[in-house]
Structure 1
Amino acid sequence: MKTVILATFSALALLLAAPAHADTDTDFTNELHTYGIYGQKDYNAWIGKIVCKRMRTGLDANAGEAATFLKLNLDKDSDEQQVYQFLGGAIRFYCPDQQPVLDALVR
């Protein structure tokens, strides 16, 4: 009886398990590559998470200030478009609650 109960719970756990999902940092890196932004995966993910923290705490009050931070921390050959593409990707992957920061750019 104990075996049947354990088997039932095991089967139920497998059915309710969340579907597998790729690593967020890898997905972010793959998006950056489409923009021609390369570099170490861990470094880019770290910078993406930091820019989110800076916006959440008010250290960077708008997209321009966040872009200035990124420009100083991304490859020196990154152009302005790549900086904003990086910012958009960071927001999408690490802090979607900050989307209004990007939306304010088009107003």
Structure 2
Amino acid sequence: MKRILIGIATVAATVGALATAAPAVADPDTNFANELHTYGIYGQKDYNAWIGKITCKRLYAGVDHDAFASANFVHNQLQKDATTDQAWKFLAAALRTYCPEKLPVLDAAAAHPQ
């Protein structure tokens, strides 16, 4: 930790901005897992992060054309007793964490429920 702080201070001093050094960023996969735990979604951290990232890739590639398809994909990946509500919460957390520019698909789903 001390080396990281020294490294940050050295870089900041080099650019003349010691007072504005950015704080360390937490691991997004850990933050994602912690958020999922608040929704009662458990499982292997790496697996859940992988599903979150794949969900974003599916939206980018057009495999899933809307949030309903994405939530269905997520639901099929979760443990057997997962609820639909948990799938939607997982989807929202995944979009916030791994592809925030895709968050409008949630607004579109809310505006046009199935």
User: Do both share a fold (TM > 0.5)?
Assistant: yes
**Structure 1 moving runs of 4+ over 4 Å:** none
Aligned letter for 1:12? A
Greater Rg over alpha carbons, structure: 1
1:17 deviation in Å?
A: 4.3
C-alpha RMSD of matched pairs (Å): 1.7
Partner of 2:34: 30
> One-letter code of the match for 1:46?
W
Length-normalised TM-score, structure 2: 0.80
Q: Structure with the greater relative contact order (CA < 8 A, sep ≥ 6): 1 or 2?
A: 1
Match of residue 75, structure 1, among 63, 67, 79: 79
Matching residue within 88, 91, 111 for 1:87: 91
The one-letter amino acid paired with 1:25 is: D
Q: Is residue 25 of structure 2 the alignment partner of residue 21 of structure 1?
A: yes
Q: Percent identity?
A: 57
- Tell me, which stretches of 5 or more residues in structure 1 are unaligned? 1-8
Q: Deviations over 1:77-105 (max 9, x none)?
A: 11000000000000000000101110112
Offset of residue 71 of structure 1:
1.5
| Count of matched residue pairs | 99
TM-score (normalised: structure 1): 0.85
Find the aligned partners of 1:28 and 1:61 in 2 and give their Cα distance.
23
- Please name the residue that 1:5 is paired with: none
The offset of 1:22, in angstroms, is 1.1
